[in-house]
Structure 1
Amino acid sequence: MLKIQQSLSRRFYMLLSLPSTAMGFALSVQISALSWLLSTQYGLDIHEIGIVWAAGPIAGILGQVIVGFISDKVWFWNGRRRPFILIGGVLASLSLLALPNIGIISESLGGIGILAVAIAIALSLDLSINVSFNPTRSIIADVTPEGEARTKGYTWMQTVSGTFGVLAYVIGGYWNNFVLIYFGAALVLLFSILPTFFVIEPKELPSSGENQETDKHNFNIVQVLKDIKPLWGFLAYSLYASVLHLSNIEVSHYWGETLALLVTLFFVFETLFKSEDNESNKSGKSHLGFQKVLAAHSFSWIGIQTMFVFTYAFLQEKMTLLSDDELGQTISYSFAILNGIAALLPALALGPLANKFGRIKVHAAALLVTAFAYLYIALFTTSPISMYIMMAFAGVGWAAIVSLPFAIMSERVENSKMGLYMGLFNLSVVLPQLVVSLGISLFLNKVDDKSMVFIVCAASLLISAVSWLMVKEKQAD
């Protein structure tokens, strides 16, 4: 074991962050380039682009839960998380290389439709990312003790990852998205492979529940379904909308959407209003505590995913004088600023503030800042400069979303089941993403004023902020 790992030095936290950085960079390339490519190069409309983006959440549902559970149990190549990081990194790099060649691949396969090829490549990329993403986050919890060190691990993860995320958008804006894609393929490969040979994983993960052996080896599907109860509404709508899309059934009403929204709000707030006081086991772990984190976190991702996927549609309507290349640059610079703030704040500000005032209060406050930034964009933004300024404020909440919830969640579940619960936690990301791709995309495609993109974002972040304030702060040991 390296001395930097034994002492949990800053250099170790940076090294530990590189695999997650690789996957984050791959995702940044996808965010920056995919919608732009499909719209300007292949002529897909907003709803078709939403269908392509649906591939990611589907990959997340399957990939992160299954890989998380398996990685808790296996040990090969001298690691539990290491094999999945290596495999996912190589596959993600290859998938990135396929992105700018969608047209060529379509022709080589006998003229298969661009939409079908785009979905296949997006699914391949997202499966690759999701094979690795869970292990890159779980390994941080595996090698850091609970408390301040765990928070430091996840905030440094976001600082390093966010810094390279900024680089991704700068490359896309200064040069172009094609340069970004090829650079990203090389970086993802390097950062996935190199750190895995220097971080030593513990061969045994401690279990602190009463029935340790049973907890450690069994997969309890009933308990899993109970644990994700706040997400049942999201799950039901995802299944409903997926059936409609696959069957090419068109409906002229919003009954399904309305019912799903009511079911979601019921289960979310029914969970949030329960008391955690009598729910924890001897180690302080709580299924209800985990459920509350899912409930609060889920609405954040409605706002985040809507912004990432449909900012281009908002800019097309509000900034009509921009050419396709200028539109791509404006999107890249906007996301670069967003991620620049998200890179700086976690380790430098959010971590210290969280240790002083509590992670949940700091997280909720950050979400409110982003909600107001979104609202300002919807109502007043008509120029790139105004967009850049507001995206800087929006970066405050984004910085919190991609750092603090991992530390909060990881202390509410058994260490021996970290991979599984990290995968279940990811459902609070991917199910809302799927709702955005299948439902909100349909709504935004029909509304005339694309300011509604950021109104939806603002409302979602506001609901999430209020929900987080209903989660009990875990007291430091």
Structure 2
Amino acid sequence: MQVEENKPRLSFWQIWNMSFGFLGIQFGFALQGGFMSRIFQTLGAEKDAIPMLWIAAPLTGLLVQPIVGYLSDRTWHPKFGRRRPFFFFGAVFSTIALFFAPYSSALWMAAGSLWILDASINISMEPFRALVADKLPDSQRSYGFVVQTLIIGIGTWIASNLPWFMTQIGVPNTAEPGVIPDSVKFAFGIGAVVLFSSILYTILTTKEYPPENLEEFEKENQESSGFLKGVTEIFKNIFGMPNVMLKLGLVQFFSWFAFFTMWSFATPAITEHIFKATDTASVAYNDAADSVGNYLGTYGLTSMFFALILAFITSKVKINRKLVHMFSLFAGGAGFILIYFISEPWMLHICFALVGIAWASILSMPYAMLSSSVNPKQMGVYMGIFNMFIVIPQIIAALGGINYMYKLLFGEEVVFTMVLAGTSLIVAGLCNLFITNKGVTHDG
């Protein structure tokens, strides 16, 4: 564990401002996670082929995240700071990709849009994680990551409901076969505006601390400059990661396998199992798909309220991060599994409310634990490397892991993908028991 740095405690609104860009990032992720499978199905993709269409996104993240983290650790400009340049360029490319994604006329175009969108969001996202560790003392890091989660929850709820809202105000929700409905196009356009403007808000309202010893910082950068030295340094950090990070990585692996399964299969699973709708050009299917977005919004709304509770608690008392995370994952696992057993659509709100508890914890507790166990000078690269434990399970899932596992363990019905997701979250919760370092599991 790192020694507490001599950093001032920040107010709620200072932490809010430095995290506000996550609202836009989550607009991008929520629209991507809630509606890209709908776009793929509309363009003719079979259900079992959907995970493969998602594979470019995690593959890109596997490469982009450590590199961006490494570069941001070694960036400093008196005016623009360390992390903020990455916020800006990621926002520009994310905005463009998000706007044009629903105008795809072929599967390869939609998959390409997803690839560009995910890569661009990652350019902005990883430095946001590192910024919390840069700016906050260890005693405030759980609080800082929870505030991020609060903003993420708001973004998830609003963005997931945008196509439904567009339909309610009269925007067409159906189109010719193979054409994306206008309700989805409008939702993605609004998301693009929110993404750029919220990240710009953080850039304009947040200042960064300069390196403690600027001369030493520049000397270290000169010594490690060059492509080969950079790649060598990244691999050195990967193979030399702290033991705690490996244990947290195991928890992350099963957590993100579960959520990738949800993003890939929630629309076909719920529209087929609950609404009995399979024709993607029908009114019944498109209304059901809008409803899926509404239910996914519930997990964002719940994560927002759970994050509010955690923010209040962590601002007042020290918490056991490991136990909070373990029981939150158990709740999410139960929520996914219950989807198989319910018969009424309104019950999905209960299921996804439980999922939202897990989501709030996934976006805060692992990062708070990680930030207490790594060298502050390498926070960016380690945050990037840590996210390899997010993208690797997604790659495995996309390459057939989901299709193979749910059919092997449970049965042929696509709703069993949600049971698989729940089982994976419960395993993730149990993996927390391997983490025993009190300095990591408890607030500083």
Instruction: Give the TM-score band, short-chain normalised.
Output: 0.7 to 0.9
Letter in 2 for 1:199: T
> Are the equivalent residues in 2 in contact too, given 1:46–1:445 (CA < 8 A)?
no
Return closer, same or farther for 1:425/1:326 CA change in 2, 3 Å cut-off: same
> Are the equivalent residues in 1 in contact too, given 2:149–2:307 (CA < 8 A)?
yes
CA distance in 2, matches of 1:351, 1:49: 40
> Are the equivalent residues in 1 in contact too, given 2:322–2:432 (CA < 8 A)?
yes
Return closer, same or farther for 1:390/1:90 CA change in 2, 3 Å cut-off: same
Percent of paired sites with the same residue: 24
Residue 293 of structure 2 is aligned to residue 332 of structure 1: yes
The 5-angstrom pairing of residues 66-145 of structure 1 reads: 66-76=67-77, 77-103=79-105, 114-145=106-137
Cα deviation 1:98-137 (Å, max 9, x = unaligned):
111111xxxxxxxxxx232222111111111011110111
Letter in 2 for 1:369: A
Partner of 1:193: 200
Aligned mate of 1:21, from 23, 43, 62: 23
Residue 7 of structure 2 is aligned to residue 8 of structure 1: no
DSSP-derived class of the 1:28 partner: helix
The 5-angstrom pairing of residues 224-303 of structure 1 reads: 224-227=237-240, 287-303=242-258
Aligned mate of 1:159, from 144, 147, 150: 150
> Are the equivalent residues in 1 in contact too, given 2:295–2:348 (CA < 8 A)?
yes
> Are the equivalent residues in 2 in contact too, given 1:65–1:424 (CA < 8 A)?
yes
CA distance in 2, matches of 1:160, 1:415: 24
Cα deviation 1:220-249 (Å, max 9, x = unaligned):
355334257xxxxxxxxxxxxxxxxxxxxx
Return closer, same or farther for 1:6/1:470 CA change in 2, 3 Å cut-off: closer
> Are the equivalent residues in 1 in contact too, given 2:135–2:208 (CA < 8 A)?
yes
Letter in 1 for 2:120: S
Moved over 4 A (4+): 216-219, 353-357, 444-447
Cα deviation 1:280-314 (Å, max 9, x = unaligned):
xxxxxxx1112111122211111111112101121
CA distance in 1, matches of 2:129, 2:163: 26
CA distance in 2, matches of 1:440, 1:476: 36
Residue 424 of structure 2 is aligned to residue 460 of structure 1: yes
Cα RMSD, aligned residues only? 2.4
Letter in 1 for 2:263: F
Aligned mate of 1:431, from 379, 383, 392: 392
Residue 332 of structure 2 is aligned to residue 370 of structure 1: yes
DSSP-derived class of the 2:138 partner: coil
DSSP-derived class of the 1:44 partner: coil
Return closer, same or farther for 1:49/1:199 CA change in 2, 3 Å cut-off: same
Return closer, same or farther for 1:469/1:122 CA change in 2, 3 Å cut-off: same
Aligned mate of 1:358, from 320, 325, 331: 320
Stretches of structure 2 that go unaligned for 5 or more consecutive residues are 1-6, 167-182, 278-283
Partner of 1:270: none
Shift of 1:23: 1.2
> Are the equivalent residues in 1 in contact too, given 2:21–2:199 (CA < 8 A)?
yes
- TM-score, L = length of structure 1: 0.78
CA distance in 2, matches of 1:206, 1:433: 39
Shift of 1:320: 4.1
Cα deviation 1:365-423 (Å, max 9, x = unaligned):
11111112222222x12331111221112211111111111111111111100110000
Shift of 1:316: 3.0
Aligned mate of 1:416, from 377, 385, 398: 377
DSSP-derived class of the 1:458 partner: helix
CA distance in 2, matches of 1:314, 1:183: 27
Shift of 1:155: 0.3
> Are the equivalent residues in 2 in contact too, given 1:297–1:468 (CA < 8 A)?
no
> Are the equivalent residues in 2 in contact too, given 1:152–1:347 (CA < 8 A)?
no
> Are the equivalent residues in 2 in contact too, given 1:367–1:396 (CA < 8 A)?
yes
Residue 63 of structure 2 is aligned to residue 45 of structure 1: no
Letter in 1 for 2:414: K
CA distance in 2, matches of 1:452, 1:206: 55
Letter in 1 for 2:142: T
> Are the equivalent residues in 2 in contact too, given 1:64–1:131 (CA < 8 A)?
yes
Return closer, same or farther for 1:476/1:398 CA change in 2, 3 Å cut-off: closer
Return closer, same or farther for 1:403/1:174 CA change in 2, 3 Å cut-off: same
CA distance in 2, matches of 1:90, 1:116: 22
CA distance in 2, matches of 1:206, 1:146: 21
Partner of 1:171: 162
Shift of 1:459: 1.5
CA distance in 2, matches of 1:37, 1:313: 12
CA distance in 2, matches of 1:342, 1:205: 36
Shift of 1:171: 1.6
Partner of 2:172: none
DSSP-derived class of the 1:384 partner: coil
CA distance in 1, matches of 2:86, 2:335: 38
Return closer, same or farther for 1:48/1:321 CA change in 2, 3 Å cut-off: closer
Stretches of structure 1 that go unaligned for 5 or more consecutive residues are 104-113, 229-286
CA distance in 2, matches of 1:457, 1:97: 30
Return closer, same or farther for 1:213/1:6 CA change in 2, 3 Å cut-off: same
CA distance in 2, matches of 1:417, 1:465: 28
Aligned mate of 2:347, from 386, 390, 412: 386
Shift of 1:36: 0.8
Partner of 1:220: 233
Return closer, same or farther for 1:185/1:25 CA change in 2, 3 Å cut-off: same
Shift of 1:92: 0.4
> Are the equivalent residues in 2 in contact too, given 1:338–1:398 (CA < 8 A)?
yes
Query: Which is further off, 24-33 or 422-431?
Result: 24-33
